[in-house]
Amino acid sequence: MHGTEDRAHWFALGCEQEAAFVADTAPRLGARMSINPAKATDEYAIDLLWEVRPGEHVPTDLKTQSTPFFSARTYGKDPGRTVTFNFKDLRRYERHYPQARVLFHVNWTLTQMTLRGQVCRVPPLHGVWWADIPGIRALVNRDDARHAYQRRVGDTQGNARDSYLLALDDLTLLGLLPLQT
């Protein structure tokens, strides 16, 4: 796996994943989405526009996650049913896109890891869940499970230093997809 702290790499990969999601995944789930045109001039603009009704588009961020947060048990959560959402993203979206939605495209391609001598396994899973920003705020206010990334304490690349852990079961399922490896 590529280094988790290489922000430029993950940003470029994210742009590729957004295009693939709009072209392939969203239509398979019956959702009409497009790349946000503002991204052409502002790399920090929200990723997508989701057409929820004809002519009505909701700003939407796409979070693609292929590796479970295996340490989720430390926080009392199921690693196979938990996604992460950056603290700094929540604050930025509350300021700039308060009614935005966040999509979590989950495709667990890695389903086991050894942590502190113990093998942790999760079942394969591929699907898309979502929540709006007020809903995410309510979840983190209810259950402030927040993980600080040890390797990012002195980060100067703009990487998030901590993330909230969100249970998929607290989000809205857009749809399940065939398993991929």
Q: What percent of the chain has pLDDT over 70?
A: 84
Residue 8 pLDDT exceeds 90: no
What is residue 159's predicted lDDT score, i.e. its pLDDT?
47
What pLDDT score does 155 carry?
47
Higher model confidence: residue 144 or residue 163? 163
State how beta strands 56-65 and 101-107 pair: parallel
In this structure, the dihedral spanned by the alpha carbons of residues 92, 26, 66 and 44, taken in order and rounded to 10 degrees, is -20
